[in-house]
Amino acid sequence: MRKQYSFENSKKLWLEAQDIIPGGSQATRAPLYPEFPTYFKKAKGCRMWDVDGNEFIDLLCSIGPIILGYAYDRVDNAVREIMKDSFQSSMNHPIQLELARLLIEVIPCAEQVRFLKTGTEATQAAARLARHITKRTYIARCGYHGWADMWWYGKTEGIPKAAWETIPRFNGAAEDLENLFKKTNEPFAAVILCPADTRPFTKENYQAIVDIAHRHGALVIFDEVKTGFRTSLGGAQELLGVTPDITTVSKGMGNGYPISAVVGKEEYMRRMPETPTAGTFSVEAISIAAAIETIREIKEKNVVGHLWNSGQRLIDGLNKICRDYNMDEPRAYADPVPSMPRFTWKSGEDNPQHPVHQYFFGECVKYGLFFSQWHVAFVNYSHKNEDIDEALDICDFVMAKTKKYAANISGNANYKKAVVHKSNPVKAAT
Ligand SMILES: Cc1ncc(COP(=O)(O)O)c(C=O)c1O
Q: What is the pLDDT of residues 169-202, one digit of tens each?
A: 999 999 999 999 999 999 999 999 999 999 999 9
Last-in-domain residue among 279, 300, 321: 300
Judge if 285 and 311 occupy the same domain: no
CA 118 to chain centre: 12
Last-in-domain residue among 285, 300, 315: 300
The residue nearest atom 7 of ligand 1, judged by CA position, is 119
Averaged pLDDT of the chain: 91
Is residue 127 a contact partner of residue 150, using CB atoms and an 8 Å limit? yes
Could you say which residues of the chain have pLDDT below 50? 348, 414, 416-430
Last-in-domain residue among 266, 285, 300: 300
Query: Which residues are CB-neighbours of 271 under 8 A, at least 6 positions away?
Result: 129, 132, 133
Task: Indicate the pTM of the whole model.
Answer: 0.94
3 domain residue, yes or no? no
Judge if 19 and 104 occupy the same domain: no
Q: Which of 28, 120, 150, 249 gets mutated to test ligand 1 (max ligand atoms within 8 A of its CB)?
A: 120
Q: How far is the CA of 163 from the centre of ligand 1 (A)?
A: 18
Show the ligand 1 pocket: residues with CB < 6 angstroms: 118-120, 123, 143-146, 194, 223, 225-226, 250
Write out the residue range of the structural domain in which residue 188 sits: 73-300
pLDDT at 427: 33
Judge if 378 and 262 occupy the same domain: no
Judge if 29 and 45 occupy the same domain: yes
Residue 336: asked if its preceding bond is cis (omega within 30°), the reply is yes
Of ligand 1's listed atoms, the one at least distance from the Cα of 223 is 1
Q: What is the pLDDT of residues 393-402, one digit of tens each?
A: 999 999 999 9
339 domain residue, yes or no? yes
182 domain residue, yes or no? yes
Separation of alpha carbons 345 and 413, rounded Å: 18
CATH of residue 208: 3.40.640.10
The residue nearest atom 13 of ligand 1, judged by CA position, is 146
Is residue 314 a contact partner of residue 392, using CB atoms and an 8 Å limit? yes
Q: Which of 250, 260, 372 gets mutated to test ligand 1 (max ligand atoms within 8 A of its CB)?
A: 250
Judge if 59 and 94 occupy the same domain: no
The residue nearest atom 16 of ligand 1, judged by CA position, is 226
The number of folded domains in the chain is: 2
Q: How far is the CA of 40 from the centre of ligand 1 (A)?
A: 22
CATH of residue 20: 3.90.1150.10
Go through the chain and tell me how many residues it has.
430
φ/ψ (deg, to 5) at 43: -150, 145
Q: Which of 44, 48, 68 lies closest to 292 in space, CA to CA?
A: 68
Judge if 255 and 270 occupy the same domain: yes
Q: How far is the CA of 237 from the centre of ligand 1 (A)?
A: 17
Judge if 271 and 396 occupy the same domain: no
Judge if 148 and 195 occupy the same domain: yes
Judge if 277 and 338 occupy the same domain: no
